[in-house]
Structure 1
């Protein structure tokens, strides 16, 4: 039988044009819609689609990936399908073949074994060929994704061409619209609506957001925290999914595609309820913006949201793999899938593309390189220029690094205490090196009793447990030097303090 894979683009080149959340959403949704048109035409021709699954209802976020895998297609027939799909796409968006790139490869196989793996490899090679795009075509796309009013993409996704897409400051301060006194909530919505109206008629949106924050800081003086001026950019990717797909039969691949599509729908709603904005939720990939903290009672901060997404993925995807038949690796071990994250937290004026690139680098440069994966790599980039970063596995068992980190976020402590703990540990780094050789937790406890003389005793004890756990960690990101451990610990203390709440003076 003949198997074909179709790939669409240029996705990266289009996404890099985006400078605002709505532009990034539009760039992503543009290609999800193109894939939707292709799938629709394939179904009209009654072709068997292995992946992705399809939806009958229009969604508010891009849920379709950039590749589709099909059984039994001939070149002539395929060209007709592509032509019809592109025609519908162009009628809605005004973008045609002079910009979009549609490539396909085919293989023959009697058994269907490894066909998706082979097709992916061939498509990876074809993507290395960059097709030139003229300035006029590029400008047409730029105008489309920058459209604030009468957007064809907004009309299709939201049913309103003038949809008010959230701006960064609106996302970052979402908690103020959900907590506290009712008149304060109404006031926040009044300021939000005023800034939306100004943004629609302004060529300087950054100034608009500055004015929004000036109002917020005056009228929400008691509630205001520095994290309201920071935005989370999150990239997530499923671990071991490639291995799983390669080991499944075609029938099971279809079942898995359905599970992934349902997961994408659920997790998008979850992000919205938290106060975030999903940009893309296709397959096992996820990209979204979110506030650092939320007004949602059971999911109060970004790390709790990641845990909720993890649970959704485990129930909706990994357990579904168990039902359809969990494959084994070459050593005979059952293959499980988890999620790894790149989390970039940056000041609202920080360039959007840089924040996106940071999240992507954190995901694939750090989180994915942790032994066993299932990790989160994060970076907090402060307005002052300072920055803190870290990475750890999401082992939530008692006494784990991740569990201790979550406990840190429950403590309200003075900034001076965090700095004092770090300073005293740094000043005794040589002694810590010797204690590491002894590897006796009682010695570490005695060391702590001697040098930590003041402050919140519960918090100090928690930092001692964290230090001991970090010193004996054999997974993590491979850090072994005491100085590296202290840097990692200080980063965790700082981001926990930041999430728990810092005053405006700490920006």
Structure 2
């Protein structure tokens, strides 16, 4: 027997994120949608009598309510609501609930930011028209997954966004970033409206303090990066940089498809179990990011967006990504799908943008969304794509493909973390060898064609060609690849070169494994890509090693 489901999509989130120029503004641009979603669910329950058991996305139970109370500022409610409905409830009733929630939100926003001289009805209409909320109703066959049945229609509705024909003033922008404070040359007050909004919620719902507040100060990019102090415990160039990260789970559709069964007895409970795990993961991720010194913008579903220092004491943003991956795997370990006769798990992909603290936040957001998209386009997904831009304008990029493999971080990422721990700190093994770090990268560029020839040579001894090239180019550091000497007998420079070459080989072999038609041209391109990525690794090690420029 078919059952009737309602699907609701709420937006426009990305468009609103693009309005802001501060971390707190970015958070506010996301949170108002999570806040709206939560209030709409409450309205559906209270006014229409929709039971908690009817909700699939997000699931409603005591465990989830505890997570919401413990983690109120994470933006836990994402942009979709799906629930089973009584056939007697018409869509017009749903629309009435949506209309009321729009009115309530616009009133809350405008009470804070509207001046006495402004037309409140005009401002309310602007915000209500700005919020894009679409509803569909569909019958779903027993045993089928309602999320998969409704999502294609919701995706289409999201694309058909309406627009405001005459926009004299963007009242939502004024709420997110108080323009009066900028005109008065008081940029520190630009997020005061959001602060007042959160304080009102804190008071009425008895919640913990907003995580962007430190005493009465709203945390800025300078605070997060460590520019204005030394709370992050570093004295290197990294204090002038921040990382913006967008992470997302892979193969969600395949996992949801695997829940379907002909009898229809398990699919609904499995969906609810998965939705609960999404809340659990969001809470864990929020806590890990906070502990590291970052600030979560949103953590809804399996999707994260946060801003963080590139280094905090002995940890780096790359260690944090490894930690978040571990939490992801622990939360979703019980969910899998069959592909080519094998059981497979969900993967973890992310885009990372590392940039100077004065870099425009909007541009960083565009870049990080692009990096996540690059990760998702890799056939295996499960990839971390990093874009690193120095204040000088020099840019680097690297992808860690198959980031998580066989229940552990893949070999390439592990080797990179080991290098970072040993050579990417001022008191590390190459503390007085900044020039050496620079010279290695320079020689890779100057002798690129020589390295390319060595890497693409056929035969079992091809590794030896590359070894010989490095030995000849760095003959001032004896012992490189000398198997008769121990690590302790070699210079630190020789040990470092060996580890860089090992990592270069691993990257190259990985790229070769992804090529179906191995020709001289494709192998050369794989070698070139590998050299560029190892140059990025060296650049990152040098970046983490450099002292702060006063």
What TM-score results when the alignment is normalised by the length of structure 2?
0.76
Structure 2 residue 225 is the aligned partner of structure 1 residue 172: yes
**Alignment partner of 2:135 out of 99, 104, 119:** 104
Change (3 A) 1:477 1:171: farther
Q: Identify the residue that residue 366 of structure 2 maps to in structure 1.
A: 357
Closer, same or farther in 2 for the Cα pair 1:257/1:435, shift >3 Å?
Answer: closer
In 2, are the aligned partners of 1:53 and 1:254 still within 8 Å (CA)?
A: yes
User: Aligned with 2:170: secondary structure?
Assistant: helix
Could you tell me whether the CA contact under 8 Å between 1:340 and 1:373 is conserved in 2? Answer: yes
Report the CA distance shift for 1:6/1:429 in structure 2 as closer, same or farther (over 3 A).
same
Aligned pair partner of 2:471 in 436, 449, 453 = 449
**Greater alpha carbon shift after TM alignment, 37-46 vs 98-107:** 37-46
Which residue of structure 1 lines up, in the alignment, with residue 81 of structure 2?
Answer: 68
2:58 paired with 1:49? no
Equivalent residues in 2 for 1:75-474, closer than 5 Å: 75-94=91-110, 96-133=127-164, 139-147=170-178, 148-151=191-194, 152-155=196-199, 156=201, 159=209, 164-173=217-226, 177-178=230-231, 224-248=235-259, 249-295=267-313, 300-316=315-331, 318-321=332-335, 326-329=336-339, 331-364=340-373, 366-393=374-401, 394-395=403-404, 400-409=411-420, 410-411=422-423, 412=428, 413=430, 414-426=433-445, 427=447, 429-430=449-450, 432-439=452-459, 440=461, 441-454=463-476, 456-474=493-511
**Aligned twin of 1:193:** none
SS in 2 for 1:504: coil
Paired residue secondary structure (1:472): helix
Name the SS of the counterpart of 2:130 in structure 1: coil
Greater Cα offset, 391-400 or 355-364: 391-400
Q: Give the C-alpha shift of residue 422 in structure 1.
A: 3.1
Aligned pair in 2 of structure 1 residues 431, 376: CA closer, same or farther (>3 Å)?
closer
CA distance in 1, matches of 2:168, 2:281: 35
1:502 is the counterpart of 2:546 = yes
Please state how far the C-alpha of 1:421 moved relative to its aligned partner.
2.2
Contact in 2 for aligned 1:51/1:70 (Cα 8 Å):
yes
Distance 2:321 2:84 in 1: 36
Structure 1 position 402, deviation (Å): 1.3
Q: Deviations over 1:324-376 (max 9, x none)?
A: xx3434x4432311211100001111111110111110111x21223422211
Query: Which residue of 7, 19, 28 maps to 2:21?
Result: 19
Name the SS of the counterpart of 1:98 in structure 2: helix
Distance 2:258 2:100 in 1: 33
* Rg larger in structure: 2
CA contact (8 A) 1:395 1:403 kept: no
- Answer with 467-476 or 163-172: which moved more: 467-476
- CA displacement 1:291-332 (0-9 Å, x = unmatched): 01013x6xx10000000000111111x2242xxxx3434x44
Cα deviation for residue 86 of structure 1 reads 3.3
In 1: Cα distance, 2:252 partner to 2:50 partner: 28
SS of corresponding position for 1:464: helix
Residue number in structure 2 paired with 1:214: none
Range that drifts further, 372-381 or 37-46: 37-46
Contact 1:436 1:471 in 2 (8 A): no
Distance 1:391 1:150 in 2: 39
Change (3 A) 1:437 1:115: same
Query: CA shift at 1:177, angstroms?
Result: 4.7
Whole-angstrom distance in 1 between the partners of 2:232 and 2:167: 48
| Contact map agreement 2:232 2:293 (CA 8 A) in 1 | no
TM-score, scaled to structure 1:
0.82
Q: Contact between 2:454 and 2:465, CA under 8 Å: does it hold in 1? A: no
Shift of 1:417: 1.9
Distance 1:293 1:175, change over 3 A: farther
- Equivalent residue number for residue 217 of structure 1: none
Deviation at 1:138, TM superposition (A): 5.7
Change beyond 3 A, Cα 1:246–1:421: same
Give 1:238 deviation, angstroms: 0.4
Q: How many residue pairs get matched?
A: 453
Q: CA separation of 1:477/1:32 partners in 2, compared to 1, >3 Å: closer, same or farther?
A: farther
| Pair 1:351–1:431, CA change in 2 (3 A) | closer
